[in-house]
Amino acid sequence: MLSGKSILITGAGSGIGATCARVFAANGAKVIVADRDVDSGEGVAAEIRDSGGEARFRHCDVTDEASVAAAVSFATSTYGRLDGAMNNAGIEMRNKPVHELTAQDIEAVLGVDLVGVFYCIKHEFLAMKDAGGGSIVNTASASGVRGQINASDYVAAKHGVVGLTKAAACDGGPLGIRVNAICPGLIMTPMAKDRLMNDPVFSQALEGLRQRHVIGRFGETEEVANAGMFLLSDLASFVTGSPMLVDGGYSV
C-alpha cells in the first residue's frame, strides 16, 4: 500500500509511532524513525532492517524547530524526497483540574502536542511543495473533538491539532499536500499502561472510560497504524482536512 514511499514518523521509538514504523515498512515504505530517545529509536529502525524493511533513525525533539527541520532534511537527503509524514510525538495530560494546572504544565503539553506538530507541518510542507505534494497525518485524539475531566491541557492541545489540520489542509490543497488527523480513543501503549493507568486519579475513572468505548475495549496500536497507512496511501487521494475517529465509539 505504501510501496516506495518515504515516510517520516515522529515519536517512533515506542507506542503508536513504533507500530506505525513497523507496519508502514512491512507495506513497502522507506521509513525515517524520528524520536528524542536515541536508544529506542535506533532499536526500532534496526528491528525493521533485520526484518527486511528499509528504515533509518534520526534524533528529533519536536519542541525544537531546528531539530525538526534537520529531521525533515535528513529524510529528503536519505531517500531523495519526502512523500509522507506521521506527526505522532506527544505526551500525556497532567491529570489535574483546570484551576490546579500551572503555566509550566500548560507550556509542556502544548509545546509537544501542538507546537511540535506545527513545526513538523511547516517543514514537511517546505519539503513536499517543491516535490509535487505529499500526505501528512497528525496524531490528535478523541479528546480533540470532545471534553474530558482533568485534562484541560491535553484537550486544548488536541483540539488545536484538529484545527491546525483543517487549516493546513486548506493551505496544502493547491500544493498537492493532503493533511489529515487521526483521533484515537485510549490505546494500549506503554504510556497508557505504565504511566496513566498507574496514576491514582486516572485509574479511578478507568472502568467508566472502558464502558464509554462502545466496542467494549481499548484500542491497539496496530489499529491506529492501519488508519494512518490508509490516509498516507493513494487510496485516500480525495481525503484531506479530516479528523478520522479511531476510538471504538468513545466520542459517540
Place of cell 527541520: 69
> Considering just the CA atoms, what is the radius of gyration of the chain in Å?
17
Place of cell 513536499: 128
Return contacts of 22-25, CB within 8 angstroms, 24+ apart.
22/47, 22/48, 22/51, 22/53, 22/225, 23/222, 23/225, 23/226, 23/229, 24/86, 24/225, 24/228, 24/229, 24/232, 25/51, 25/53, 25/54, 25/55
Question: Is 154 in the active site?
Answer: yes
Residue 218 grid coordinates: 481499548
Phi, psi of 205 (to 5 degrees): -95, 5
Give the residue numbers marked as catalytic: 154
